[in-house]
Amino acid sequence: MKKILIIITVFFSININAMTNDIKPIGPTHIRFYTGNLSVGLFTEYWGTTSNDFGTMTDGIAEIMKRISCSAMCDYLTWCSIEQKPGKWDWSFHEKNAKKLNDAGFDYNVFCWLHFPPKWYEKSEKFVPYINIENGRSIPQISLWSPDLSQIYENFYSKLSEKLGDKIGFFRLAMPTEYGEIGYCAGYTKWLRPQENAEPGYWCGDKFAQKDFQKTMLELYGSLEKVNAEWKTSFKSVDKISMPDTKKLPEKFDESLAARQRWIDFIEWYQEAWIHCLTNVTKIVKKHFPEKELIASLGYGLEDPKYGNDQSRHIEAMAQLGLACQSPGDIGYFPTRRVSSACRHYKVPYFTEPPAGVPRERELNRIFMDISNGVETWFDYLPNMDQARDYFRKYKKHLTGASPRTTVAVWHPTLDHWLHPEQSWSKQAFELSDPLRDVMAYEIVDDRMIKTGALKTLSVRQLVLAGATWLDSNAWKTVHKWVEEGGMLIVLQSEPISDITGNTNLWKKQLPKSIPEIKAETINVNYIWKTGAVKMGKGVVLTINPKNLSQNQLAELTGRLCESAGEKVGHSEWNAKHIDGKVNNILSTIFYDKLLYYNVTTEDKQMKLNFRETDFPDNAPKPKKMKMILNVPARTIVEIPLETK
């Protein structure tokens, strides 16, 4: 599997002397830009890990914020630095920051870290740390199962309301772990605060987590006898119900339904714990700040099951709680689109943020990525934006929050992903993701999104399943119904797929008499349709054996199949848009009123474009010319306007 860039949010001192000599400001923008980093030095000074600037708001910072069009600055409020002695709360540093920002005409927003407790609390009997179930080691972060967690949040936010309530514009909600983003410890914050045992693991070994797991399993199955029957275990009492041995996974999944079911029950509980925590924290904050905008953060840029960040689940909860979602930007198409697709489906405002120290060229990549994903608020650090103001001036007109348009989606099969716990993503889908993005833009949907109607809300007509061993039967049935209504499912594998019980009936239902084995030198699309297609109602399932194709070849073939899908189901206007189609290092995105092409290379390129009438059906806006030669200079975004005639 390709390695993915792991995003680690890095805090740094703001060096106003290191900015670019370009004096022109970015100017007015369509979407909100805001920045952060105040007061992090207070936290690191408390733990003795750095001696940097404490993070004081200054006139120099205000000057930079104005020229990069940031309307707000985030202050990082940490419990350990504010209540260094029991009952002695000192908000003075943050009060000064808030006043300086407000006086300069900026919003003051906060990100409150409560999971690294003060030293006095860490020594108390109330402190319940996370414990790794694989080795019994703990870390100095408060477990989300701590019975004292709600009271800690209640105390902190009530005090915050008294001191700074009228100064705060909006909130980033910090969860009890790592950088305050949803997800269990991965060891990212060891540099901020000494944490010898901080590393990726299943951090649910404290006694309160274990009791919650036992209670949840009893509620799920109704009796201890049923738990034992489903898992093929012999627990003598409820308090003996144990979590699966994560060190021996997935050795029994292929042969044992009981092992699969027990593991899925565990992971479902492990993920859902964050929903309970997020809901609880949101209620507390809304109690004290009922009218404020609230933002929840997704981190990591990976979905290893051990991290607990099942992103569509969390975004669905954000929708129910009235929250916006902030997530890493420019970390590769698959993990980025994974979030933005879910935000569009569940109608959650979509914000992005970067790592620190982003080079100018990476900033340009992120600009195109965020344009193409419909970002609605841009969070960034001052040096990143200041060095790239010319890019922002040139392309800010495209940063409008407008939704991209595509009828293609890739299926990230949750069940299969969880039953391969060593994976960060669905292996086959992730390996295909970058080459396919070079061919066309596409949405990403998972089991949950499919079951909650994403194929309709995202206007999907062509769904690509790059490969799986197991599929959730309810999601699979939903896909088959969608196919019967006129959709197209493209399956890129020849090995049988089963549901969690091992049943392959749904696979057989969509299986052609002979799965075509494709060779790169003899690709014949008509032959593929003739041999690999199975009609289901108004739609079709197309299955091919991809083993002889490279990922680039498979991506281009998948694009051709999607672009001809409508003709094969009898509705040519359902063809995927034919606006690119080649793996050529030029990325394309279509919006209602324009096409954008981005040359990611350092060489000037040309494209021969030959649009079809079905790419712009009925009265949809279309380009002035249906055939053209498009020049796309190196590292440049080029626009083709679409107009209504």
- Asked if 365 and 446 sit in the same domain, the reply is no
Tell me if 265 is assigned to some domain.
Answer: no
Report how far residue 178's alpha carbon sits from residue 9's, in angstroms, rounded to the nearest whole number.
10
Q: What is the pLDDT of residues 539-564, one digit of tens each?
A: 999 999 999 999 999 999 999 999 99
- Asked if 365 and 501 sit in the same domain, the reply is no
Long-range contacts made by residues 97-100, C-beta under 8 angstroms, separation at least 24? 97/38, 97/39, 97/55, 97/56, 97/57, 97/73, 98/164, 98/167, 98/168, 99/167, 100/57, 100/58, 100/62
Does the pLDDT of residue 445 top 80, yes or no? yes
Q: What is the pLDDT of residues 360-419, one digit of tens each?
A: 999 999 999 999 999 999 999 999 999 999 999 999 999 999 999 999 999 999 999 999
Tell me if 581 is assigned to some domain.
Answer: no
Q: Which one of 398, 432, 465 terminates a domain?
A: 398
What are the structure tokens assigned to 551, written together? 């990922």
pLDDT at 12: 44
Tell me if 462 is assigned to some domain.
Answer: yes
Does the pLDDT of residue 7 top 60, yes or no? no
The confidence band for 52, taking pLDDT boundaries of 50, 70 and 90, is low
- Asked if 37 and 141 sit in the same domain, the reply is yes
pLDDT at 22: 65
- Asked if 386 and 492 sit in the same domain, the reply is no
The confidence band for 32, taking pLDDT boundaries of 50, 70 and 90, is very high
CATH of the domain at 303: 3.20.20.80
* Mean of pLDDT over the chain: 93
Q: Under DSSP, is residue 205 helix (H, G, I), strand (E, B) or coil? A: coil
Phi, psi of 562 (to 5 degrees): -65, -40
pTM: 0.95
By CB atoms closer than 10 A (0-12, 13-18, 19+), residue 402 is middle
Q: Average pLDDT in the 185-190 region?
A: 94
pLDDT at 15: 47
pLDDT at 541: 97
- Asked if 392 and 531 sit in the same domain, the reply is no
- Asked if 127 and 25 sit in the same domain, the reply is yes
Tell me if 330 is assigned to some domain.
Answer: yes
The confidence band for 16, taking pLDDT boundaries of 50, 70 and 90, is very low
pLDDT at 619: 83
Does the pLDDT of residue 356 top 90, yes or no? no
Please calculate the CA angle 366-371-375 and round it to the nearest 5 degrees.
90
Does the pLDDT of residue 310 top 50, yes or no? yes
Q: Which one of 398, 432, 464 terminates a domain?
A: 398
pLDDT above 70 as % of the chain: 96
Q: What is the pLDDT of residues 126-177, one digit of tens each?
A: 999 999 999 999 999 999 999 999 999 999 999 999 999 999 999 999 999 9
Tell me if 139 is assigned to some domain.
Answer: yes
- Asked if 88 and 190 sit in the same domain, the reply is yes
pLDDT at 357: 83
Does the pLDDT of residue 645 top 80, yes or no? no
Q: Average pLDDT in the 425-436 region?
A: 96
pLDDT above 90 as % of the chain: 86
404 in Cβ contact with 441 (< 8 Å): yes
pLDDT at 527: 86
- Asked if 448 and 390 sit in the same domain, the reply is no
Does the pLDDT of residue 42 top 90, yes or no? yes
427 in Cβ contact with 484 (< 8 Å): no
The confidence band for 51, taking pLDDT boundaries of 50, 70 and 90, is low
Does the pLDDT of residue 216 top 50, yes or no? yes
Tell me if 637 is assigned to some domain.
Answer: no
Q: Which one of 534, 550, 576 terminates a domain?
A: 576
For residue 400, the number of C-alpha atoms closer than 13 Å in the C-beta half-sphere is: 9
Q: Average pLDDT in the 245-273 region?
A: 91
- Asked if 335 and 458 sit in the same domain, the reply is no
Bond from prior residue into 250 cis (ω within 30 degrees of 0): yes
Report how far residue 311's alpha carbon sits from residue 339's, in angstroms, rounded to the nearest whole number.
7
Report how far residue 519's alpha carbon sits from residue 130's, in angstroms, rounded to the nearest whole number.
52
Q: Average pLDDT in the 51-65 region?
A: 89
The confidence band for 355, taking pLDDT boundaries of 50, 70 and 90, is confident
- For residue 529, the enclosing domain spans 441-576
Tell me if 478 is assigned to some domain.
Answer: yes
Q: Average pLDDT in the 511-525 region?
A: 84
- Asked if 487 and 339 sit in the same domain, the reply is no
Does the pLDDT of residue 18 top 80, yes or no? no
Tell me if 409 is assigned to some domain.
Answer: no
What total of structural domains would you count in the chain? Answer: 2
Q: Under DSSP, is residue 211 helix (H, G, I), strand (E, B) or coil? A: helix
- Asked if 458 and 337 sit in the same domain, the reply is no
Q: Average pLDDT in the 470-497 region?
A: 97
